[in-house]
Amino acid sequence: MAAVRGDATGEREDRNGGRSTPRYRITDCRLDRQSFVPLNRQIKDLVLDRIEHGDLATGDLIPSETQLEAAFKVSRLTVRQALYELRVEGYIVRERGRGSFVGGAAV
C-alpha cells in the first residue's frame, strides 16, 4: 500500500511516484434542499461539474456511496441513483469491490 500525504492544493500525492489523484472535492459543496431540482440530480451535476472542469481526470476514484451519503446527508438510494445515471451516460465506470472511477466519456 502506498503512503499518501495531502498538501495545500487539496491534492493527494503518492510517495511511490504514482500519479497524483485529487482529494474528494466533490463533497466540498452543499445541496440546495429548497430547490425544485431533486437531490440525486444535484449530486450528479456536482460530480459531472468536477469531471468537466478537470478536478477529476479519467481513472480517478470517485468517493464511495457511503462517503457521499455521509457528506451530503442523504440516503444511499439518492447517491446510488446519481451514480447510476453517470454510469449509464458513460462518465463513470463501476468495478465491483474496487469502487467507481471516472470513465472515458470524460475525455
Contact 81/91 with Cβ under 8 angstroms?
no
Q: What amino acid is encoded at 76 in this protein?
A: R
Task: Name the packing angle between helices 39-52 and 76-88 (round to 10°).
Answer: 50
pLDDT in tens, 34-84: 999 999 999 999 999 999 888 889 999 999 999 999 999 999 999 999 999
Higher pLDDT, 105 or 22: 105
| pLDDT for residue 27 | 66
Distance CA 76, CA 97 (A): 17
Distance from CA of residue 17 to its chain's centroid?
23
Contacts of 7 (CB under 8 A, 6+ apart): 13
Query: What's the CATH class of domain 31-106?
Result: mainly alpha
Q: How much is the pTM?
A: 0.73
Reading the block at residue 15, the C-alpha cell is 510517495
pLDDT in tens, 6-28: 333 344 444 434 444 445 566 67
